[in-house]
Chains A and B, each alone.
Chain A
């Protein structure tokens, strides 16, 4: 079945076609638009399953298909498709979760006047994301990477008439673009060093041994290996896209987009593109260690690039979890939780390699999509209310949403045994404990696990358990949904929205089968040795300790959260944490003032630069031009003066003198013969006297 590899492009092409056709539809053609988009992603899902099946049967074999795009200097730039377990698992996840979110959106966006445009953008996004994961060329990946960024921009700003949404869209695009500059420079450098951007090209690709050995053999500024430097530049892009510290600020703001967008783009797929990127170019990140040319004693235990990845992830995981504790917007809590979980994925990549990070990516995609869709359902039910302090008691009104949300919440919190989140997080913790470079990330991750359980318990309490005392719909909150009776009771969402929730919840539980220590199927699948997989306990002693520690941390978080918050009855009351730690809570509620810090430093600096450049341009250069003009005019006046008073005067004077001499000469010639003769006689006498005198003296 080699037909699929050269035709892998069909998977992104289907949604792209749907987006193109959708762009031509008229506004009222909602039904057609939704059928088109859902149908396209459904077909893409079937193809993705075919691709997945192929990686199962021909495991461990990476299949690529390359072709020339355009000539690049003397050589040609070749693009290509790749199919390996990494790609296949992403393809299935994106099309499956994406398909469910598409279906959910049909219900969620039903009353929006720009329904067709929404599905057009959504399909465009899906196409770009699918294109990203099948790319066998870093440049091609980058192009899709920018396209998903564009789709994200369009969808965050979908309700652009809200100034906050427009600002959030702009912020998201620019912040990720800052990271992308590093990414682009990394690409340029990589191309400069290896002469190819194909990942795998039968031995000649940039991730294969020849190229990597070349990169490891050279050093650059500060004695850093070139491979490390390039990895770090590429990682800049991942930091931007995946919302890691210090570029995480855009992701919480991106929640201004419609909730299905938050679920699909800002939780399940696009933000994980950074993780996927690192997983894809993992050989490069690991090259320092894997392809060692230096004597083994001088090497650090882990490659520098992976240390940076791990620490960035660990810091992000804890900071974002802390901030989430003090937020009150249901979607913002989830957004910070996403940032934190992305941090876990990077820890996983850093300490355990692609399989560990990627498994958390996949489980997270399911349970976070589930949580966002559940949050959307809650928001829908509460008539566009997003503040958890104004919700409450929805357990009774929306039982399906509650049950599925609880599943997602327990998976995110890492509740033991039957939830996939537990196993994927446990694997990360286990690898972190065994990490030779430092134990710091392990403890940070453990702390993050407890915090996650804590803030999710807080959220659950406020949204679902707290007795509902007063529900006041905030009428001015949102203008895009028009409801018949804004003061009606909260209600359960229609089944087109709840069915995807149930399916996702089922998946969250089922996925846990694939990575238990008894049957670590996923690990073996990604690593490409499925055939050697044995059923049976594969863990060691530390694994049990890690599991116990993580259970303790989660229990502490859940129990602590419940103990603190179950007494809170009034949503308007001070937060129990705030009463105990007012300073810390305040700082966290202000999101550690990172935005304000950027506003005061980088943004202000760029504004000052811009304004001063503008000023220079308006006045500086113009002043130069004016100065030159004045100088020229001044010179002209001087010239005029010179002309008038020196050259002209000289001319006049010389004319005058000529005339004077003429007059003088004229006196001699007055026409009187007697005077002529007198002068002649005088002259002769003088001549004779002179000759006599000289003749006399000569003798």
Chain B
């Protein structure tokens, strides 16, 4: 069932070119159908998935027998959570891209190809296959930003592509070494995870692969592609970029680097923990002084991904579960925040400068956008009742067991998080001394009212963050047992999980 998420997305991308060139409606409907079908396949697969901790094979065929590479798709609770996230963000992203008028066929083709690659990464348990999907996901990002982007788009697109390729170069180098050193002639992750690599090898291979993936996860100081990329990207693409592409990196860190090289992790975890906490505080601080609304959200992503990396560095079941939950939560919230800022505000007001927005009374002009942003902001500052709270709590408890001092600093990051979110809310929506002049009242701006697709997309994501916040078991029942699987035996032995 899960495999269909990949096939449907690629089929949708290919199907775009069967549509007439000038059609506007066709690509949208096809993209929405493909994204929704992918989401349904993800939900269907998740429902079939037994709640146990094991890895369930989805599809396995010999692929390149001479190398020992298989076409091996499988899922455990972690993959499943992220596949669900991808489906949700992809669907919402299409709804928020409903107004794309420049070459919509190509836009949605790249969009769906990107999603297909992302699904593939989350489901691959063969390292070579994983890398192939990983590369597939990088290419469309470049075009989405370079063609449909805004501010500084070519620079941002190139920066993003270069960072991504440097990252994958590191990963490939590490993995080829791992393949050779193990001598098992297989890329099967489950097999490789059983192999105990020599400690000296792990000490240099681990940082190579971890940083390689970490670049995409916004690991400080390799994060700087993220804010510029997010800002330049068109709304749908920045939702995907912050929502799921950053998760690719974090997922790779957990799935590949930490699983294969537990002793390397044990040696480097302090460094990772410190970098993660720097990312949390630093991202929040930078977000505090941005004038561009999208940069605020962009840097908040760096800060929130810091929690994911901190959770990974704790190497406790709670911390790791929290990291996965935070991936989900941040994916939903970043998608939502970028949707509001990029689509609801920028496409109507044609500015993202907070100083200018201050005088535009957006809370009255666009009340739906204001309410959505306030709710998303509250969720992203970790207020109880939203998904972010449970995730950050798990990470903090995990961190308390491993590095209490870092937990305290991360706590300071949460306070700054409140500050920049409230600043953005007040500057962006609730300010201005005088009441808006009648000429700018919503009644006269009927065409600028929030459209139905936007409302649906925002509603979908809001429902998810509140649902998970109130009843986290929905995901935790999948995530937590996954860490009991034999896949993490090495981590238990080598890094004391």
Contact = CB atoms under 8 A, between A and B. Distances in A.
Given A143-B384, A143-B385, A610-B286, A185 B224 contact: no
Scoring B286, B290, B400, B408 by chain A CB atoms within 10 A of each residue's CB, the highest score goes to B286
Contacts of A625: 159, 224
Scoring A71, A139, A163, A188 by chain B CB atoms within 10 A of each residue's CB, the highest score goes to A188
Interface in A606-646: 606-607, 609-611, 613-614, 617, 621-622, 625
Given A73-B318, A166-B430, A614-B290, A188 B407 contact: yes
A23 to B, nearest CB: 10
Interface string A45-56: 000000000000
A150 interface: yes
Interface string A71-82: 111000000000
A482 B282 CA distance: 46
B334 to A, nearest CB: 18
A192 B401 contact: yes
Contacts of A188: 393, 396-397, 400, 407
A613 B282 contact: yes
Contact of B285 (A73, A157, A189, A606): A606
B378 A160 contact: no
Contact of A174 (B227, B385, B419): B419
A575 B362 CA distance: 45
Interface stretch (A176-184, A300-308, A496-504, A578-586): A176-184
A190 B438 CA distance: 56
B384 A173 contact: no
A166 B426 contact: yes
Contacts of A181: 411-412, 414-415
A311 interface: no
B235 interface: no
Scoring A71, A182, A610, A621 by chain B CB atoms within 10 A of each residue's CB, the highest score goes to A610
B16 to A, nearest CB: 34
Contact of B408 (A73, A185, A613, A622): A185
B418 A174 contact: yes
A661 B389 CA distance: 82
Contacts of B318: 72-73
A189 B400 contact: yes
A160 B221 contact: no
Scoring A153, A177, A182, A189 by chain B CB atoms within 10 A of each residue's CB, the highest score goes to A177
Interface in B449-482: 471-473, 476-477, 480
Contacts of B473: 70-71
A161 B433 contact: yes
A185 B431 CA distance: 34
B317 interface: yes
A154 to B, nearest CB: 9
Interface of A is mostly: helix
Given A73-B317, A166-B430, A170-B426, A184 B384 contact: no
Interface residues of A, number: 41
B136 to A, nearest CB: 25
B335 to A, nearest CB: 23
Nearest to A167: B426
Nearest to B166: A628
Interface string A124-162: 000000000000000100110011001001000100111
A357 B423 CA distance: 37
A617 B408 CA distance: 24
B415 A161 contact: no
Contacts of A609: 285
B415 A157 contact: no
Contacts of B477: 71
A447 to B, nearest CB: 34
B159 A610 contact: no
Contacts of A71: 473, 476-477, 480
A73 B318 CA distance: 6
A514 interface: no
A215 B400 CA distance: 16
Given A147-B384, A161-B435, A174-B415, 18 more contacts: A70-B390, A72-B318, A157-B430, A161-B432, A162-B433, A163-B433, A181-B411, A181-B412, A181-B415, A184-B396, A185-B408, A188-B393, A188-B400, A189-B400, A606-B419, A610-B285, A613-B285, A614-B289
14 contacts: A142-B384, A161-B434, A174-B419, A177-B418, A178-B415, A184-B411, A185-B411, A188-B400, A607-B289, A609-B285, A610-B285, A617-B286, A621-B221, A625-B159
Interface of B: 159, 221, 224, 227, 282, 285-286, 288-290, 299, 317-318, 321, 363, 378, 383-385, 389-390, 393, 396-397, 400-401, 404, 407-408, 411-412, 414-416, 418-419, 422-423, 426, 430-435, 471-473, 476-477, 480
The 5 tightest CB contacts between A and B, nearest first, are A143-B384, A181-B411, A610-B285, A621-B224, A70-B473
